[in-house]
């Protein structure tokens, strides 16, 4: 009996559920570079190159471990360009008795898997992806009956389940969350910032870079300077580098932004976690050990672990619970087109130029750049949240719909009406000025609200609140901004809204 096991590009783990317990001699693994998956949105060119290179190296690792692997390259003349097309060819080649596969990360691809039994007239076993801490059933049980789904309470359950940063049945240090200590602006001087490791492309990766440049040169981004880790071993090297050099200050400065510094103290490990090259729970245990051994402060360890077993697990639960229509939700009825400079970085707003420029160059920007610069601006101008969500899915190397859609449409754009976030993450230029050095490099004056030199974020912020007051006015977390708006005289309100209207007309 031959078993066919398709392994997808975000399933690059040696302990994948679909491989467990199978006889290597009687199993054929199928890995596929297909045009449909590279183009269903116009993925960043470095994202495509990263995944194809990582897939090719993972296929080699599987072969070294004794597995038989069929690997279909993008330029194979017989490549059918889709998962179903390539599975059909593999079925024809090997006449398997059944197909075993690990569940996918997106509704779109999961629907393909669920159609295969009828399409190929074969039994198809879809195994749960147990590389996550919470199962779908556990999240459903936690969410059942709750009027609001808040990450903080789910996170506490994940701490209890894993034992991470727990002293018996109490959280380490006596508190569950040290986020209040993790909001420091960048220090004004003596700024010593660690750099993530850079990995020179080997011959295999060079082949991928040439292929991708030739096929996807019109996608967003630049192929030059590609330096991602594309093997589990190199991803582990990057992990070790972060633990030693960046984690100690990660907590303090995780929300900071500095001109010309795309990485700061961030881990830059999310592409490897989401593709399967790193194990998230093992990473969290390594972070906890750094704290237990006295090498990093508690606020750094807790802040990082919360991102993994808190936010990452929480948004996955939201995505699968809410269903495939989640990405079309638009609570604020925002309809504006996303400005073209999101694909070029060509804007005189320095903060946006920095965040989008890093995105174009590296297929990466850290979470505050995403939430409070590109996301905040899109929210304030009333950009269509589905369009915003697709942009984030295109441009970041760590972006898969399960993790990206709730973070973008739910948290950043408030498109789900508060299911995920308790308020819209909207701010004026004051927040950006406080948490970065961006405003000092900008042609606009962050202190001005109106006039030719006024920071656009200022008027846009008040205009956002005013036009959305029917839907947001009773949000308790926005009570103070709405009181401040109400205290302004009519002339000031009119000037702010006119300033915003004039700016929006130019977009």
Helices (H), 332-478: 350-362, 367-368, 376-381, 385-395, 401-405, 429-435, 456-467, 469-472
Helices assigned H by DSSP within 348-455: 350-362, 367-368, 376-381, 385-395, 401-405, 429-435
Fold assignment, 136-201+218-322: 1.25.40
Q: What is the pLDDT along the chain (507 residues), one digit of tens a residue?
A: 699 999 999 999 999 999 999 999 999 999 999 999 999 999 999 999 999 999 999 999 999 999 999 999 999 999 999 999 999 999 999 999 999 999 999 999 999 999 999 999 999 999 999 999 999 999 999 999 888 899 999 999 999 999 999 999 999 999 999 988 888 888 776 567 899 999 999 999 999 999 999 999 999 999 999 999 999 999 999 999 999 999 999 999 999 999 999 999 999 999 999 999 999 999 999 999 999 999 999 999 999 999 999 999 999 999 999 999 999 999 999 999 999 999 999 999 999 999 999 999 999 999 999 999 999 999 999 999 999 999 999 999 999 999 999 999 999 999 999 999 999 999 999 999 999 999 999 999 999 999 999 999 999 999 999 999 999 999 999 999 999 999 999 999 999 999 999 999 999
Q: What residue ranges do the domains of the chain occupy?
A: 3-127, 136-201+218-322, 340-506
Q: Which CATH class is domain 3-127?
A: alpha beta
Going across the sheet that includes 68-72, the strands are: 68-72, 27-32, 3-6, 98-102, 124-127
State the pTM of this model. 0.96
Residue 506 CB partners (closer than 8 Å, separation 6+): none
Return the CATH class of domain 340-506.
mainly alpha
């Amino acid at each position: 009996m031959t078993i066919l096991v398709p392994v997808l590009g975000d399933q690059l783990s040696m302990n994948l559920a679909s491989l467990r317990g199978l006889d290597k001699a009687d199993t054929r693994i199928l890995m596929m570079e297909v045009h449909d998956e590279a183009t269903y949105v116009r993925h960043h060119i470095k994202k495509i190159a990263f995944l194809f290179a990582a897939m090719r190296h993972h296929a080699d690792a599987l072969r070294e471990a004794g597995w038989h692997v069929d690997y279909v390259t993008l330029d194979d003349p017989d490549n059918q360009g889709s998962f179903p097309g390539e599975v059909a060819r593999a079925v024809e080649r090997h006449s398997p008795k059944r197909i075993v596969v690990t569940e996918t990360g997106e509704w779109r691809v999961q629907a393909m898997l669920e159609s295969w039994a009828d399409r190929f007239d074969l039994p198809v076993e879809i195994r749960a992806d147990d590389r996550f801490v919470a199962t779908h059933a556990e999240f459903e049980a936690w969410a059942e009956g709750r009027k609001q789904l808040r990450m903080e309470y789910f996170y506490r359950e994940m701490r209890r389940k894993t034992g991470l940063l727990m002293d018996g049945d109490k959280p380490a240090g006596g508190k569950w969350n040290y986020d209040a200590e993790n909001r420091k602006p960048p220090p004004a001087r003596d700024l010593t910032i660690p750099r993530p490791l850079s990995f020179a492309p080997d011959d295999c990766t060079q082949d991928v870079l040439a292929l991708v440049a030739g096929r996807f040169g019109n996608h967003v981004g630049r192929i030059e300077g590609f330096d991602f880790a594309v093997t589990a071993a190199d991803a582990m090297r990057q992990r070790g580098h972060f633990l030693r050099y960046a984690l100690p200050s990660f907590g303090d400065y995780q929300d900071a932004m500095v001109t010309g510094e795309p990485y700061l103290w961030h881990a830059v490990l999310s592409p490897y976690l989401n593709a399967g090259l790193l194990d998230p729970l093992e990473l969290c245990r390594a972070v906890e050990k750094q704290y237990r051994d006295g090498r990093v402060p508690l606020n750094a360890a807790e802040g990082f672990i919360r991102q993994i077993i808190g936010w990452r697990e929480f948004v996955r639960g939201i995505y699968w619970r809410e269903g495939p229509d989640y990405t079309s939700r638009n609570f604020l009825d925002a309809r504006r087109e996303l400005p073209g400079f999101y694909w070029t970085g060509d804007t005189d707003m320095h903060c946006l130029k920095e965040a989008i420029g890093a995105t174009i160059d590296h297929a990466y920007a850290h979470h505050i750049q995403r939430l409070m610069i590109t996301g905040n601006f899109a929210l304030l101008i009333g950009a269509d949240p589905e369009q915003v969500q697709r942009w984030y899915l295109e441009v970041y190397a760590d972006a898969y719909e399960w993790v990206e859609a709730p973070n973008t449409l739910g948290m950043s754009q408030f498109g789900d009406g508060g299911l995920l976030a308790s308020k819209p993450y909207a701010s004026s230029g004051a927040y950006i000025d406080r948490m970065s050095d961006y405003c000092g490099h900008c042609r606009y004056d962050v202190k001005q609200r109106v006039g030719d030199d006024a920071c656009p974020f200022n008027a846009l912020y008040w205009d956002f609140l005013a036009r959305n007051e029917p839907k947001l006015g009773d949000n308790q977390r926005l009570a103070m901004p709405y009181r401040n708006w109400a205290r302004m005289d009519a002339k000031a309100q009119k000037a702010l809204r006119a300033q915003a209207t004039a700016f929006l007309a130019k977009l």
